[in-house]
């Protein structure tokens, strides 16, 4: 897994370096973003497997501590970068920001060196690189994966997550609306990102200090009901009803993003 993390870091650097230098078409941008997403997804899966490995055996009272640390670190990184990303775009342009971003995935490659893994013995290594050994190992892994996935307690949540992510949502449409229709600047979008990063950290803190002992089903139920209701507040922004209540588009967007992010992070 150490080598996978190192490679994914270099892949991310390559994708943002292309965006900062040679990309001049929508197809080139799409390809570079695809590489960047692949880099993030690849490293995220590897790190998640390590988190799950270390989280096994946690009691109900301590469950989620390691996940909270990971999400809290992510939120803190968002706080550091969010505000400056918008102001840097205004001051120096997008390619400059892409160039800075290209250095960040190298942190993944550097930290990967600290991953402590069991080294294969010469016999195990020979078996893993030989043709027959690789095929047998791959078949065995597929069988193990299928044995795990077909269990209802794994298959049903997996199906739910797939359907949840596969259904359309308004995020992209809302982005175009607030930039084209409302005229929000990159600087303001950076401030919104700053607020949502702080809200994300707040959500992690609320769960970690107040909700760890609460049954997960109850948390899912309450946050789903409240989140579904608050998700409809975008209609107020699109139709302009918020201004009739004396709330500007800017403040409404910030408040809406803050509350929904706290719920989502919980």
Express each pLDDT in 58-108 by its tens digit: 665 555 677 778 888 888 888 888 777 777 887 888 899 899 989 999 998
Percent of the chain surpassing pLDDT 90: 21
Express each pLDDT in 98-122 by its tens digit: 999 899 999 989 988 888 877 766 7
The pLDDT score that the predictor gives to residue 61 is 56
The pLDDT score that the predictor gives to residue 30 is 94
The pLDDT score that the predictor gives to residue 13 is 95
Q: Give CA separation, 53 vs 46, 48, 49, 196, 262, in Å.
A: 11, 8, 6, 29, 27
The pLDDT score that the predictor gives to residue 58 is 65
The pLDDT score that the predictor gives to residue 170 is 77
6-10, 69-73, 162-166 — most confident range: 6-10
What does pTM read for this prediction?
0.67
Q: Does residue 266 surpass a pLDDT of 90?
A: no
């Amino acid at each position: 897994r150490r080598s996978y993390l190192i490679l994914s870091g270099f892949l991310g650097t390559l994708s943002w370096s292309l965006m900062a230098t040679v990309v001049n078409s929508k197809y080139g941008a799409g390809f570079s973003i695809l590489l960047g997403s692949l880099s993030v997804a690849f490293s995220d899966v590897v790190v998640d497997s390590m988190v799950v490995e270390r989280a096994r055996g946690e009691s109900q009272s301590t469950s989620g501590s390691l996940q909270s640390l990971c999400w809290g670190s992510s939120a803190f990184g968002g706080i550091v970068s969010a505000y400056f990303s918008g102001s840097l775009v205004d001051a120096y342009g997008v390619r400059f920001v892409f160039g800075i971003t290209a250095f960040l995935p190298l942190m993944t490659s550097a930290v990967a060196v600290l991953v402590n893994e069991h080294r294969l013995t010469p016999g195990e290594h020979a078996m893993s690189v030989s043709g027959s050994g690789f095929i047998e190992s791959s078949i065995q892994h597929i069988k193990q994966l299928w044995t795990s996935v077909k269990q209802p307690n794994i298959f049903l949540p997996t199906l739910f997550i797939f359907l949840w992510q596969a259904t359309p949502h308004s995020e992209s449409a809302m982005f175009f609306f607030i930039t084209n229709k409302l005229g929000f600047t990159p600087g303001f979008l950076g401030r919104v990102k700053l607020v949502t990063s702080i809200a994300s950290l707040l959500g992690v803190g609320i769960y970690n200090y107040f909700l760890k002992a609460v049954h997960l089903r109850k948390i899912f139920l309450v946050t789903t009901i409240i989140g579904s209701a608050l998700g409809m507040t975008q209609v107020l922004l699109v139709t302009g009803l918020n201004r009739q209540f004396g709330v500007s588009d800017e403040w409404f967007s910030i408040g809406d993003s803050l509350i929904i992010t706290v719920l989502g992070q919980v």
